[in-house]
Structure 1
Amino acid sequence: MSSDEFRPVYHPAGHDAELRAVVQELRTGRWMSMRNLLADTADWASWTRRTQVLAAAAAGTDTVHIWRTEEPHSAAATVMHARVAVERAVRAHRDRHPETANLWHEAWEACQVCIGQLPDDPVPWVCLLALSPLDRGRRMPEHRVPPPGPMLFPGPWGLLGEVAKRDPDCREAHQRMLQFVYSRNPRGSLPEAVNYARWATASAPAGSPVHVLPLYVRVERYRRERGQDRALDLHWVTDDAIRDALAGLRNWFEYADPADSSLLDLSHLAHALWGAHQFSEAARVFRALGPYYAPVPWTYRMRDDHDDIAQGAQELFLRARSRCLHAPSA
């Protein structure tokens, strides 16, 4: 297929073919393939990633409820029950639904049950981190723990620590912490997010997806500053921006297996390298994406008055991909 004919595909499962098939089954109300997939999932990174994707697909259905009714002693069903409850609460909070408080309480209780039954599993602690932005008044003591270092903020550090005890390199936990930061003070939280990303990457081992975290913060800053009206601007070609993009490439991508990588991480890295004019390096990431695509952060390049933001973002992705793949030595 020529570059002119190429059209990327978005799927939340990305390169995980087994997960893609299960998501399709789940959407038709079938749960046995989900059970079998999770039974065959051997590492915490895959377990966390797969349960997150499955919960997003299952949140609008009663599939997990049916599974849990059929197999009430299933550990995986207990985890998925907590995952779905948290997904529903987070969505309700985002949509300002009047049932948010009740859904939040149900989700918190589901996490506690999960912790009691599965003390070694990081996912219920990740779920509690996902719920932390709902506590806007920081009424719960677990959401205002003193920080572990200077230039950081009071927050759910104990929850993050519980995840780290079980999975020291949990990608989702750090993404959830960023969401908590943004919920603290939406207008003034960017410096805190920058400091958090620096703190997290400082101790992250080579190959950790945590090294992509600064690129998410940079995209959020760009989005807030309304820089979308220029295809390439100085925000992406400063020394700091180039350093962050190359650090993501060298400290994470060089070690990453696309089959186990988040499409969002790959998309943010490709976007950052392209924006920093590191075209041949970006080409490697575009190749790793293969036929897949994540709309974010490309949608943030679109003006709000664009006729079709989704289509415009995809066209921008295709232009960036083509530019990088045709770069010298790409």
Structure 2
Amino acid sequence: MSFLSSRRRKPRLAPELDDGDLGRLLKSLRATTRSGTFGTTDLCVAQLSRLFEQDPGDWDRRAHRLSVLADYLSESHLPSAWATREPGNASALVLAAWSELVRGRDTGGLADSSAAAKQCLRAADLDPQDPAPWVVLLGIARLERYAQSDVFGAWNEILARDRWHREAYLSMLAHLSPEEAGSRVQVLDFIDSIRPRMPANAPCAAVELTAQVMQYNAALARGGVDALVARNHWTNPQAVESLERAHHTWPQPSFFHHAKTLADLNLLAYALMAADRRQQAAPVFEAIGNTVTAWPWNSGGDSLAAFEHARNRAGL
């Protein structure tokens, strides 16, 4: 029994997090596409279609599933094949456009940004309440360096459909960062403008701590003196306040309900360990279990090794 217990405790990268239906689909897609049997595309398309027929109106879970599948299928023909077969299926169109966006981020630009945008607009016509097409349009506008009016136009369309959409807030945070099209001041202004109105357990609640981790990692990446003093970032009042709010509430079992809760807990554990607050990190690791996210643990190399090392330092 001891070796089985040890195996159960081994951390693993699981992009589906605790979404069992999504995890089973990913496992099935791996097995089906590996087999290369006749009718593989038909079977995979049917599986994708069934998943997105679940939970209509749950925009948060829908975005989680779309983002994970877009990452997984970005080099596959499946999204475009599904969109070609079912041009009246909003899920198929959004997944195809989102997969193109992922591939464009990897290569530095979209092969055909106009076609991807048209797929999103068609999906928005088919399902006017769904914010997902506008999330992808926001990503396209950022990647292709469209005018600010296009960026904020997509942003406003998302908020009109889902006020606290996690993907949208993280996308705007990246857009406003110094690494993209903004500045540190713009990031602070963005956080200050949303903090007073945002519910503490909103799906996008991690946007403030994400900004802190991004700033900390940017200092580490610069190397030299900046990297040597990067730990001091966690002593500034805003970083301290952000960590204080999060560690008291986020790990509580009934606090968060959104699809990427485990991703936010990974972020919190990373930040607490970066701030050398090991005792506070321990219950966060307990709440996480074995489900590891690539970011932010991969900022220093191998995600699983970094996670396990940090968990051991926290006394687990």
Identify the TM-score tier after normalising by the shorter chain.
0.7 to 0.9
The answer to whether the aligner puts 1:179 opposite 2:179 as a matched pair is: no
The answer to whether the aligner puts 1:248 opposite 2:238 as a matched pair is: no
Q: 2:127 aligns with which of 110, 118, 122?
A: 118
Partner SS for 2:88: coil
CA contact (8 A) 2:251 2:283 kept: no
1:239-259 deviation line (CA, Å, top 9, x unaligned):
4322111223346554114x8
**1:75-94 paired onto structure 2 within 5 Å:** 75-93=90-108
Residue of structure 1 equivalent to 2:23: 20
The answer to whether the aligner puts 1:32 opposite 2:32 as a matched pair is: no
Unaligned 5+ runs, structure 1? 94-99, 144-155, 303-308
Per the TM alignment, residue 50 of structure 1 is displaced from its structure 2 partner at its CA by 0.7
Q: 2:158 aligns with which of 156, 163, 166?
A: 163
1:211-269 deviation line (CA, Å, top 9, x unaligned):
31122222222222227766983222444322111223346554114x82254322111
- Which protein has the bigger helix share? 2
Residue of structure 2 equivalent to 1:204: 198
Partner SS for 2:168: helix
Query: Which amino acid letter does the alignment assign opposite residue 318 of structure 1?
Result: E
Residue of structure 2 equivalent to 1:221: 215
- Seen in structure 2, the aligned counterparts of structure 1 residues 157 and 203 have a Cα distance that, compared at 3 Å, is farther
Unaligned 5+ runs, structure 2? 34-40
CA contact (8 A) 2:178 2:184 kept: no
Residue of structure 2 equivalent to 1:67: 82
CA contact (8 A) 2:220 2:230 kept: no
The answer to whether the aligner puts 1:281 opposite 2:280 as a matched pair is: yes
Residue of structure 2 equivalent to 1:107: 116
Per the TM alignment, residue 281 of structure 1 is displaced from its structure 2 partner at its CA by 3.2
CA contact (8 A) 1:128 1:159 kept: yes
CA distance in 1, matches of 2:140, 2:294: 25
Partner SS for 2:233: helix
CA distance in 2, matches of 1:283, 1:159: 39
CA distance in 1, matches of 2:123, 2:17: 27
Residue of structure 2 equivalent to 1:127: 136
The answer to whether the aligner puts 1:142 opposite 2:175 as a matched pair is: no
- In the alignment of these two chains, the number of paired residues is 295
User: Quick check: 245-254 or 156-165, which moved more?
Assistant: 245-254
User: Quick check: 277-286 or 223-232, which moved more?
Assistant: 223-232
CA distance in 2, matches of 1:119, 1:204: 24
Q: 2:185 aligns with which of 183, 188, 191?
A: 191
RMSD: 2.9
Per the TM alignment, residue 205 of structure 1 is displaced from its structure 2 partner at its CA by 1.0
CA contact (8 A) 1:111 1:128 kept: yes
- Seen in structure 2, the aligned counterparts of structure 1 residues 65 and 135 have a Cα distance that, compared at 3 Å, is closer
- Seen in structure 2, the aligned counterparts of structure 1 residues 266 and 39 have a Cα distance that, compared at 3 Å, is same
CA contact (8 A) 1:65 1:81 kept: yes
CA distance in 1, matches of 2:268, 2:47: 32
Q: 2:11 aligns with which of 8, 14, 18?
A: 8
Query: Which amino acid letter does the alignment assign opposite residue 38 of structure 1?
Result: F
- Seen in structure 2, the aligned counterparts of structure 1 residues 295 and 89 have a Cα distance that, compared at 3 Å, is closer
CA distance in 2, matches of 1:164, 1:174: 10
CA contact (8 A) 1:55 1:84 kept: yes
- Seen in structure 2, the aligned counterparts of structure 1 residues 184 and 10 have a Cα distance that, compared at 3 Å, is closer
CA distance in 1, matches of 2:98, 2:129: 16
Residue of structure 2 equivalent to 1:320: 310
- Seen in structure 2, the aligned counterparts of structure 1 residues 101 and 260 have a Cα distance that, compared at 3 Å, is closer
Instruction: Determine what percentage of the aligned residue pairs are the same residue.
Output: 26
Query: Which amino acid letter does the alignment assign opposite residue 142 of structure 1?
Result: S
CA contact (8 A) 1:85 1:106 kept: no
Partner SS for 1:169: coil
Per the TM alignment, residue 92 of structure 1 is displaced from its structure 2 partner at its CA by 2.9
Residue of structure 2 equivalent to 1:153: none
